[in-house]
């Protein structure tokens, strides 16, 4: 591909009686760079291709003069480097042209997904920098920390996931630690950082954040530490200790943990208790969890009751009687009723 691009550039240059030095001056590169292009040693940076096309009065395809496979190879090679606006625009234009000819072109579709992901990550990193600046100015705005956490997840750097050992959590820990310890009212931030430290097995550091959490919720994180250390019995006992409080989130957290450990009856008990301690407008997190869990367990009648509760609470506490928040529960009820009918018909 390098030779064909170089040959095309040389042919265009010589046909217009332009020297390598003149072309180099126009593009603000060295004449040695032009020489290397024409001999196939290197290729022009992708952002120079539109400038070359305009300068010679031709299309970019005339400069490339390569087939789709070679175009894809060039695009993927460019995206090994930091994404630029020029490389993104060129890749998108080229791939759209390929898809216009064949909208089932798997390689073009795959490359387009990769290109957009790389471009989105670039902007997410920029957004992270803005979020950090906002936090420095107003460290008590909880919403900015939420945005910062979401942005890190958007970059594929997610606590507890495949990338849990990557730089994302460490960056969040390094940047936010001082704010979390200084402002106990930043409950979610202390929760996130404690979780990151547990994942990193830095339990002593985790305890400094746990100390800033509401007392009712601390047993959850101490239980997580116990589980991480291999003591399941101690973890279960600590999670059960939230019964001493009336904190709905603590009950929900215990239910979530018991469910993840396959202790479904315990999970159901804590999810039910969580809803009992909510205040208007009532939080429906535990009800959604019960609906999904009952469905997984094949307890469809109980799952239907949970979806009906969601419909009732959305109307009474939030004044919502239409839209996705209502249509979704109705659709789930319909599917569950069909499953129950199928079971009865099969039994008969």
pLDDT at 158 over 50: no
Shared domain for 198 and 257, answered yes or no, is no
pLDDT of residue 99: 92
pLDDT band for 58, please (50, 70, 90 cuts).
confident
pLDDT band for 162, please (50, 70, 90 cuts).
very low
pLDDT of residue 78: 67
- The whole-angstrom separation of Cα 115 and Cα 45 is 17
The answer as to whether 129 is a domain residue is no
The answer as to whether 132 is a domain residue is no
Shared domain for 109 and 145, answered yes or no, is no
Shared domain for 22 and 103, answered yes or no, is yes
The answer as to whether 74 is a domain residue is yes
Owning domain of residue 255:
218-274
Shared domain for 291 and 258, answered yes or no, is no
pLDDT of residue 165: 41
| 227, 219 Cβ separation under 8 angstroms | no
Shared domain for 25 and 78, answered yes or no, is yes
| 109, 99 Cβ separation under 8 angstroms | yes
Contacts of residue 254, defined as CB under 8 A and 6 or more positions apart, other chains included, come to 220, 239, 240, 242, 270
Domains in the chain, number: 4
| 9 compared with 208, residue with greater pLDDT | 208
pLDDT at 304 over 90: yes
Average pLDDT over residues 255-283: 95
pLDDT at 210 over 50: yes
Shared domain for 56 and 113, answered yes or no, is yes
pLDDT of residue 61: 67
Q: Check: pTM over 0.95? Answer yes or no.
A: no
pLDDT of residue 160: 38
- The whole-angstrom separation of Cα 80 and Cα 78 is 5
Shared domain for 101 and 177, answered yes or no, is no
Contacts of residue 217, defined as CB under 8 A and 6 or more positions apart, other chains included, come to 187, 191, 242, 247, 249, 250, 253
Shared domain for 45 and 102, answered yes or no, is yes
The answer as to whether 32 is a domain residue is yes
Q: What are the tokens at 266?
A: 């315990």
Check which CATH number belongs to the domain holding 248 and give it.
Answer: 1.25.40.10
The answer as to whether 130 is a domain residue is no
Shared domain for 42 and 107, answered yes or no, is yes
pLDDT of residue 273: 94
Check which CATH number belongs to the domain holding 88 and give it.
Answer: 1.10.260.40
Q: What are the tokens at 270?
A: 């804590």
The answer as to whether 59 is a domain residue is yes
Average pLDDT over residues 151-179: 67
pLDDT at 159 over 50: no
The answer as to whether 124 is a domain residue is no
pLDDT of residue 15: 87
Average pLDDT over residues 80-106: 84
Shared domain for 83 and 10, answered yes or no, is yes
Q: Which of 105-119, 158-172, 229-243 has the lowest mean pLDDT?
A: 158-172
Shared domain for 104 and 168, answered yes or no, is no
Shared domain for 284 and 299, answered yes or no, is yes
What percent of the chain is predicted at pLDDT more than 90? 52
Peptide bond into 281 cis (omega under 30): yes
| 343, 301 Cβ separation under 8 angstroms | no
In this predicted model, what pLDDT tens digit does every residue of 29-45 receive, in sequence order?
Answer: 998 999 988 888 888 88
pLDDT of residue 121: 79
Output the average pLDDT for the chain. Answer: 87
The torsion region of residue 271 among left (phi > 0), alpha (psi -120 to 50) and beta comes to: alpha
Average pLDDT over residues 96-118: 88
């Amino acid at each position: 591909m390098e030779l064909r691009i170089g040959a095309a550039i040389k042919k265009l240059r010589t046909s217009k009686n332009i020297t390598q030095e003149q072309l180099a001056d126009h593009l603000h590169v060295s004449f040695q760079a032009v020489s290397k292009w024409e001999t196939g040693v290197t290729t022009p940076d992708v952002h120079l291709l539109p400038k070359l096309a305009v300068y010679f009065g031709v299309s970019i395809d005339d400069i490339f003069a390569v087939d789709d496979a070679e175009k894809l190879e060039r695009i993927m090679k460019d995206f090994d480097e930091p994404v630029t606006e020029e490389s993104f625009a060129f890749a998108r234009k080229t791939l759209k042209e390929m898809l216009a000819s064949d909208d089932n072109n798997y390689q073009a579709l795959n490359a387009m997904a990769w290109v957009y992901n790389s471009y989105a990550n670039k902007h997410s990193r920029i957004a992270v920098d803005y979020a950090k600046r906002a936090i420095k100015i107003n460290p008590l705005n909880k919403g900015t920390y939420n945005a910062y956490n979401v942005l890190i997840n958007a970059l594929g750097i997610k606590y507890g996931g495949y990338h849990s050992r990557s730089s994302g959590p460490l960056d969040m820990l390094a940047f936010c630690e001082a704010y979390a310890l200084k402002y106990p009212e930043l409950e979610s931030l202390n929760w996130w950082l404690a979780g990151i430290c547990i994942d990193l097995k830095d339990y002593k550091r985790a305890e400094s954040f746990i100390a800033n959490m509401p007392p009712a919720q601390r047993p959850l994180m101490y239980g997580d530490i116990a589980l991480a250390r291999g003591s399941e019995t101690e973890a279960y006992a600590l999670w059960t200790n939230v019964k001493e409080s009336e904190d709905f989130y603590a009950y929900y957290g215990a239910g979530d943990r018991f469910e993840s450990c396959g202790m479904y009856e315990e999970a159901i008990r804590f999810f039910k208790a969580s809803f009992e301690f909510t205040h208007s407008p009532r939080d429906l997190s535990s009800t959604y969890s019960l609906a999904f869990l009952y469905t997984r367990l094949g307890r469809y009648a109980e799952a239907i009751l949970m979806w009906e509760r969601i419909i009732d609470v959305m109307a009474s506490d939030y004044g919502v009687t239409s839209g996705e928040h209502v249509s979704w529960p109705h659709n789930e009820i319909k599917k569950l009723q069909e499953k129950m009918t199928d079971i009865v018909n099969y039994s008969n």
